[in-house]
Amino acid sequence: MTKPVIDGGTTKTRVFKNFIDGEWVESASGATFEDRNPADTREVVAIFQRSNKADVDSAVDAAKRAFAKWRLVPAPRRAEMIFRAAEILGDRKEDHARDMTREMGKVLKETRGDVQEAIDAAYYNAGEGRRLFGPTVPSELPNKFAMAIRQPLGVCGMITPWNFPMAIPSWKLLPALVCGNACVIKPAEDTPLSTFNLVQALTEAGVPNGVVNVVTGYGPEAGAPIAENAAVRAVSFTGSSAVGRIIGTTAAKSLKPCSLELGGKNPMMVLDDANLELAVEGGLWGAFGTTGQRCTATSRIIVQKGVYRKFIDHFVARAKKLKVGNGLDETVEMGPAVNEKQLNTSLKYIEIGKTEGAKLVSGGNRLDKGEYQHGWFLEPTVFVDVDPKMRIAQEEIFGPVVAIIPCDGLEDAIAIANNIEYGLSSSLYTKDVNKAFAAVRDLETGITYINAPTIGAEVHLPFGGTKATGNGHREGGIGAIDFYSEWKAVYVDYSDTLQKAQIDRGE
């Protein structure tokens, strides 16, 4: 991967072309778009190509050609390249974190964690190159060997979101590569630079030209053509449920596998016996980390009535003290919304909450004066005495807005938690091990935490949810390997006679 083109002006703004077949290529559209800093929209972080179907088709063609050779590279060799990429990312962690904060807005501590998650995913998937296990089983016939092996799918298309702009692409690209697939990825238009930084590391680590291709642009213009292209044999999408349904329907027409990781409305339950200070800190981190812009964000806190008012008092006091600002400032605890649309969505739901009768006890206002005047900032916002049926307790907001709901006990908390369209993450704070295991059993989510917030997944376990959160596939761990490979059953008959399986049992 050669260095990107830099413009000749005095601003030295980086101008990125698409990365196709190992070359930087301008979009067939001739159009570009700006990647701006959401904390200070006067700053253009970089300029990217506004790609279209022709660009996607070119990238898919390159991936299809590269796949013919890449699939034959032994998996341990593929894995060694991914391991080297992890080392490269580690060396550049701080630079990549600062790039990410500038283009996405979340604070440096979080962007360092985002890059670290990509490093972790690389180390994990590098290890999978020497596993990719398949079963060997006894045959029902004599002198016959039976086993199942994993094989790559072909060209895989990935469409990724802006909230984890290096971690989530790594969840998709790395297992796909170690399984022997070639890839075309379209990063979110708000955060393409972090994906380029990841792909730069993979290329320098030895991944051949055409195996990973990047096209930038907007969903309808550059994302939809990935799902529609007949040569793309699998599609992985992370984003909204509305777009996920469209992509899933498109993929179904050609019977291609489609992994959808969609919305969430995640509950954190706090029982009377909980460590209250721990629960408060966990709720703050879960609700306002990444400015609430996580699919796993703690958007509902369900608190047993015995500690309800005490929890609210402590939680609100801490929420009011959170420092909001530019994430490049090490003292800042919460950054801006990623863009104006996301900010306006949060403001809309704040008005909905007021109209519904929820009690606004903290925040609720846009910050747009002084240091905030050029960014998309919002106060951390807390509603209390929320009815579980209210829209602010049912619909995904994807911002720093949390609804606190009273409950009678564990059974009531679980009933409230489950009475939702989504089923991604959940958590319970309690000192009672019996209640903890009952919650693990009964919560209708793909992820459950005990005495921790709803965020903090690790790369070596499956990630994903139930109900409208997705379509059953998982990212991370063995779940990703399962998606990016397909089984082939192999039978070797060394009897030197024709054996007719169940017909020839010799009975």
Active site residues: 261, 295
Helices (H) and strands (E) in the chain, counts: 14, 25
Among 129, 119, 132, 128, residue whose Cα is nearest residue 84: 119
Query: How does DSSP assign 32-48, residue by residue?
Result: EEEEEETTEEEEEEEEE
Q: What is the rounded CA–CA span in Å between residue 476 and residue 472?
A: 13
- 3-state SS, residue 97: helix
Structure tokens at 254: 């050609």
* Alpha helix ranges (H) inside 159-240: 167-178, 192-204, 224-228
Structure tokens at 431: 């000192």
Whose tokens are 């799918």? That residue is 153
Under 8 Å between Cβ of 427 and 269? yes
Under 8 Å between Cβ of 187 and 180? no
Among 226, 217, 223, residue whose Cα is nearest residue 31: 217
HSE toward the beta carbon, residue 312, CA cutoff 13 A: 23
Three-point CA angle 90, 328, 97, nearest 5°: 20
Structure tokens at 360: 């606004």
Whose tokens are 């349904």? That residue is 245
β partners of residue 149:
488
Q: What is the rounded CA–CA span in Å between residue 76 and residue 91?
A: 23
Q: What is the rounded CA–CA span in Å between residue 95 and residue 212?
A: 22
Structure tokens at 268: 């954190």
Under 8 Å between Cβ of 367 and 136? no
Kind of pairing, strands 266-270 and 258-261? unpaired
Under 8 Å between Cβ of 364 and 320? no
